[in-house]
Structure 1
Amino acid sequence: MEVPPDEFRLPFFEENGFVRRRCPLCGNHYWTQNPDQETCGDAPCVAYTFIDKPPTRVRLTVSEMREKFLSFFERHGHGRVRPYPVVARWRDDLMVTIASIVDFQPYVIEGVIPPPSNPLVVSQPCMRFEDIDLVGPTFGRHLTIFEMGGHHAFNYEGQPEVYWKDQTVRYHHELLCDDLGVPSEMVTYKEGLWSGGGNAGYDLEGCVAGLEVSTLVFMMYRVVGDHLEPMPCRVVDTGYGIERWSWLSQGSPSAFHAIYGPILEGLLREAEITIEDAVLAEAAKHSCISRAEELLEARGRLADLLGLGRDELLRALRPLEAVYTALDHTKGLVFLLSEGVVPSNVKEGYLARLLIRRAYRVLRRAGLEERLLDLVEAQIGYWGDDFPQLKEMRDEVLEMVEVELSKYRETLRRGGSLVRRLLRRRPAIDVETLIELYDSHGLTPEDVDEAASPLGVSVEAPEDFYA
Structure 2
Amino acid sequence: MKTAEIANRYLDFFRSKDHEIVPSASLVSDDPSIMFTIAGMVPFIPYLTGVVPAPYKAAADLQKCIRTNDIEEVGKTARHGTFFQMMGNWSFGDYFKEGAISYAWELLTSSEADGGLGFDEKDLWVTVYEDDDEAEQLWRSVAGLPANRIQRLGREDNYWTTGQPGPAGPCSEIYFDRGPKYGQDGGPAVDDNRFLEIWNLVFMQYAIDNVRGKTEFDIVGELPQKNIDTGMGLERVAFLKQGVENMYETDQVRPVLDRAVELSGRTYGKNHEDDVRFRVIADHVRSSLMLLSDGVTPSNEGRGYILRRLMRRTVRSMRLLGVEEATFPELFAASRDAMKAGYPELETDWQRLSSYAFAEEETFLRTLTAGSTILDTAVEKTKTAGSDKLAGDQAFLLHDTYGFPIDLTLEIAEEAGLGVDRDGFDSLMKAQRERAKEDARSRKRQIADLSVYREFRGAGETSFLGYDALQTETRVLGLIVDGVPADRATAGQVAEVILPETTLYAESGGQVADKGAIVGNGFELDVLDVQRPVPGLISHTVTVHSGEVAVGDAATTIVDGENRRRAQAAHSATHLVHAALRDTLGSGATQAGSLNRAGYMRFDFAWGQALSAETKTEIEEIANNAISDNLEVSTRIMSLDDAKAAGAMALFGEKYGETVRMVDIGGPWSRELCGGTHVGRSSEIGLISLTGESSVGASNRRVEALVGIDAFRELTTERRLVNELTSALKTPKDKLAERIAELSANLKRAEKQIAQFEAKELQQRVPSLAASATTVGRVQLVAESLGEIGSADDVRALVTQVRERLASEPAVVALVGVAGGRPIVAVGTTERAREAGVQAGALVKIATGVLGGGGGGKPDFAQGGGQDASKVDAALEAVRTAIEAA
Structure 2: how far apart are the matches of 1:131 and 1:253?
Answer: 20
Letter in 2 for 1:250: Q
Which amino acid in the other structure matches residue 130 of structure 1?
A: N
Q: Could you tell me how far 1:241 is from its partner in structure 2?
A: 0.7
CA distance in 2, matches of 1:430, 1:109: 52
Contact kept in structure 1, 2:259 and 2:330, CA below 8 Å: no
Of the three residues 175, 194, 198, the one matched with 1:207 is 175
Distance 1:118 1:453 in 2: 62
Identity %: 27
Conserved in 2, the CA contact under 8 Å of 1:151 and 1:237?
yes
Corresponding residue for residue 119 of structure 1: 58
CA-to-partner distance for each residue in 1:406-457, whole Å, 9 max, x for gaps? 2211221222232343344355456655554344323343443344342442
Task: Give the C-alpha shift of residue 131 in structure 1.
Answer: 1.7
Give me the whole-angstrom Cα distance separating, in 2, the residues matched to 1:222 and 1:380: 44
8 Å CA contact 2:174–2:198 kept in 1: the answer is yes
- Determine the C-alpha separation between the residues in 1 that align with 2:392 and 2:201: 42
- Given candidates 235, 238, 243, the residue that maps to 1:246 is 238
Instruction: Give 1:174 shift.
Output: 1.3
| Aligned-partner Cα distance in 2 for 1:164–1:429 | 61
Alignment of 1:221-240 (within 5 A): 221=207, 226=213, 228=217, 233-240=225-232
Report the Cα offset of residue 169 of structure 1. Answer: 1.9
Q: Does 1:457 align with 2:397?
A: no
What do you get for the CA RMSD once the two structures are aligned?
2.7
Q: Tell me the residue number matched to 2:403.
A: 442
**SS of residue paired to 2:69:** coil
1:90-129 paired onto structure 2 within 5 Å = 90-105=30-45, 107-129=46-68
Partner of 2:531: none
Helix, strand or coil at the partner of 1:190: strand
**Partner residue of 2:96?**
164
Q: 1:108 to 1:268 in 2, by over 3 A?
A: same
| Contact in 2 for aligned 1:110/1:233 (Cα 8 Å) | no
State how far apart, in whole Å, the 1-side matches of 2:126 and 2:410 are.
43
Query: What secondary structure, in the 3-state scheme, does the structure 2 residue paired with 1:353 have?
Result: helix
Alignment of structure 1 residues 304-319 onto 2, 5 Å: 316-319=271-274
1:384–1:221 Cα change, 3 Å? farther
Q: Which residue identity lines up with residue 186 of structure 1 in the other structure?
A: D
Amino acid paired to 2:351? D
What amino acid is the match of 1:355?
L
Matched letter for residue 177 of structure 1: T
The amino acid that maps onto 1:212 is: E
Change (3 A) 1:111 1:374: same
Give runs of aligned pairs for residues 81-92 of structure 1, distance below 5 A.
81-88=22-29, 90-92=30-32
Alignment deviations for residues 293-317 of structure 1 (CA, whole Å, 9 cap, x no partner): xxxxxxxxxxxxxxxxxxxxxx712
1:394 matched to 2:350? The reply is yes
Distance in 2, Cα, partners of 1:389 & 1:116: 27
Aligned to 1:185: 122
CA distance in 1, matches of 2:207, 2:389: 49
- Is the partner of 1:374 in helix, strand or coil? helix
Unaligned runs of 5+ residues in structure 1 are 1-59, 156-161, 281-314
How far has the Cα of 1:341 moved from its partner? 1.5
Please tell me whether the aligned partners of residues 438 and 445 of structure 1 are also in contact (alpha carbons under 8 angstroms). Answer: yes
In structure 1, distance between residues paired with 2:26 and 2:10: 20
Question: Aligned to 2:231, what secondary structure does the other structure show?
Answer: strand
Q: In the alignment, does 2:5 pair up with 1:64?
A: yes
Corresponding residue for residue 268 of structure 1: 261
Shift of 1:120: 0.4
The 1:103–1:193 alpha-carbon spacing in structure 2 relative to 1, beyond 3 Å, is same
Distance 1:404 1:168 in 2: 45
Give the match for residue 410 of structure 1: 366
SS at match of 1:407: helix
Q: 1:324 to 1:195 in 2, by over 3 A?
A: farther
Q: TM-score, normalised by structure 1?
A: 0.70
Q: CA deviation at 1:355?
A: 0.7
CA distance in 1, matches of 2:334, 2:368: 26
d(CA) in 2 for partners of 1:200, 1:409: 48
CA distance in 2, matches of 1:174, 1:453: 58
With CA pairs under 8 Å and 6+ residues apart, which has the higher RCO, 1 or 2? 1
Task: Answer yes or no: is the 8 Å Cα contact 1:109–1:233 preserved in 2.
Answer: no
CA 1:344–1:225: 2 relative to 1, 3 Å: farther
Matched, 1:147 2:85: yes
User: Residues 337-416 of structure 1 correspond to what in structure 2 (within 5 A)?
Assistant: 337-368=292-323, 370-416=326-372
CA distance 1:447–1:269, change in 2 (3 Å): closer
Task: Assess, with a 3 A threshold, how the Cα gap between structure 1 residues 85 and 420 changes in structure 2: closer, same or farther.
Answer: same
TM-aligned CA distance change 1:110 to 1:212, over 3 Å: closer
Provide closer, same or farther for how the CA distance between residues 214 and 441 of structure 1 changes in structure 2, counting only shifts above 3 A: same
1:400 CA displacement:
1.3
Change in CA separation of 1:205 and 1:440 when aligned onto 2, cut-off 3 Å: same
Q: Check whether the contact 1:65–1:246 (CA below 8 A) recurs between aligned residues.
A: yes
Q: Within 1, Cα distance between the matches of 2:282 and 2:171? A: 31
| Partners of 1:273 and 1:320 within 8 A in 2 | no
Q: Larger Cα Rg: Structure 1 or Structure 2?
A: 2
Could you report, residue by residue, the CA deviation over 1:149-202 in whole angstroms, capped at 9, with x for unpaired residues?
0111123xxxxxx12223212211111112333222221112423445856532
Pairs aligned (count): 361
- Paired with 1:114 and 1:409, the residues of 2 have a C-alpha distance of 50
Shift of 1:342: 1.8
Distance 1:385 1:184, change over 3 A: closer
Q: Distance in 2 between matches of 1:350 and 1:247?
A: 30
Range moving further from structure 2, 428-437 or 378-387:
428-437
Task: Verify: 1:330 aligned to 2:285, yes or no.
Answer: yes
Counterparts of 1:429 and 1:196, CA distance in 2: 45
Q: Give the aligned residue type for 1:109.
A: L
| Structure 2 portions without partners, runs of 5+ | 111-115, 129-157, 178-194, 437-886
Deviation at 1:211, TM superposition (A): 1.9
Q: 1:413 to 1:206 in 2, by over 3 A?
A: same
Amino acid across the alignment from 1:188:
W
CA distances 1:91-122 after superposition (whole Å, capped 9, x unpaired): 111111011110122x2223232334221000
Deviations 1:45-98 (A, max 9, x none): xxxxxxxxxxxxxxx11101100111111111211000001111x111111101
- Pick the aligned partner of 1:135 from 74, 92, 101: 74
